[in-house]
Structure 1
Amino acid sequence: MNLEDFREFCLSFNGVTKDFPFDDDETLAFKVMGKIFAITDVEDFDSINLKCDPVKAAMLRDLYEDVQPGYHMNKKHWNTINPQGKLDDEIIKEWIKDSYNLVVEGLPRKKQKKLEKMED
């Protein structure tokens, strides 16, 4: 997967914004309703941080060498994925979608309803 495909896929979800919350223009974060679901370094696109169900996160780390505990993140809830490794783009997209959905499910009901209205 390349940076442009990653960026376009993240932005394809409802209510997604992007910004650089940690530095001027290096660490790109994708957010839904103000909550991060994906992070990457735009200078060296060699990792993507994605939120993940804790049980699934551990399983994926055991199954794939290109999946590691979340770098600089809560290692229970985040995985770091190597987008330049052996993983198929479609499986990475599935995990991005899972991350987005996890964040949406964790939003207060009021924000979820606001997000649903954005779809109309």
Structure 2
Amino acid sequence: MGSVEYESWRSMLLSMPGAFEDFPFGEDAAVFKVAGRDRNRAKMFGLLMHRGGTINLNLKCDPALAEQLRAANAQITPGYHMNKKHWNTVVPGLDAETMLAMIEDSYDLVVASLPRGEREVLNWKGLVGRG
């Protein structure tokens, strides 16, 4: 699937502690999950795919922030094939710093929902407010 954006986003997703890539929907959709000690209990925090000739990345997002991001950026829309309140779809066009912040936010929201023991294995420090 290799474009510059695809490889850059994939690298950012895999840089999160405990993150790994899976292909439960086939080779055209890379699912990024996080787990502490048990990969069978992993949760998704990103979905990277091609759709209509464009790279798309689905990321979990706080609902209020999701609305703000959509209003401010044409590259961000409600999550494709996801709960549109909690997920955004991003297409290329945002800077790397913004992309990394959105990936970190998605990761943090998902890790926050893991059992305490799993969070401890990941050495997760909790949600960090960004302003």
For the aligned pair, the TM-score class normalised by the smaller chain equals: 0.7 to 0.9
Question: Hey, what's the Cα distance between the residues in 1 that align with 2:10 and 2:91?
Answer: 15
The equivalent residue for 1:64 is 73
The superposition leaves residues 43-92 of structure 1 with CA deviations (integer Å, 9 ceiling, x where unpaired) of: 85521100000110011111111110000000010000012x3x112101
Structure 1 segments of 4 or more deviating over 6 A?
none
Letter in 2 for 1:28: A
Aligned-pair CA distance for 1:12: 1.0
Question: Hey, what's the Cα distance between the residues in 2 that align with 1:13 and 1:46?
Answer: 20
Preserved contact between residue 22 and residue 30 of structure 2 (Cα < 8 Å): yes
The superposition leaves residues 17-42 of structure 1 with CA deviations (integer Å, 9 ceiling, x where unpaired) of: 1011112x110011001111111115
The equivalent residue for 2:97 is 90
| Identical-residue share of aligned pairs (%) | 45
Q: 2:56 aligns with which of 26, 29, 47?
A: 47
Question: Hey, what's the Cα distance between the residues in 2 that align with 1:103 and 1:49?
Answer: 13
Report SS of the residue matched to 2:59: strand
Give the gaps of 5 or more residues in structure 2: 36-41, 125-131
Question: Hey, what's the Cα distance between the residues in 2 that align with 1:28 and 1:2?
Answer: 14
Letter in 2 for 1:14: P
Question: Hey, what's the Cα distance between the residues in 1 that align with 2:85 and 2:34?
Answer: 21
Report SS of the residue matched to 1:36: strand
Preserved contact between residue 47 and residue 81 of structure 1 (Cα < 8 Å): yes
Report SS of the residue matched to 1:47: strand
Question: Hey, what's the Cα distance between the residues in 2 that align with 1:35 and 1:26?
Answer: 19
Quote the RMSD (CA, aligned, Å). 1.8
Preserved contact between residue 3 and residue 45 of structure 1 (Cα < 8 Å): no
Preserved contact between residue 44 and residue 110 of structure 2 (Cα < 8 Å): yes
Preserved contact between residue 6 and residue 55 of structure 2 (Cα < 8 Å): no
Q: Taking structure 2 as the reference length, what is the TM-score of the superposition?
A: 0.80
Aligned-pair CA distance for 1:114: 2.3
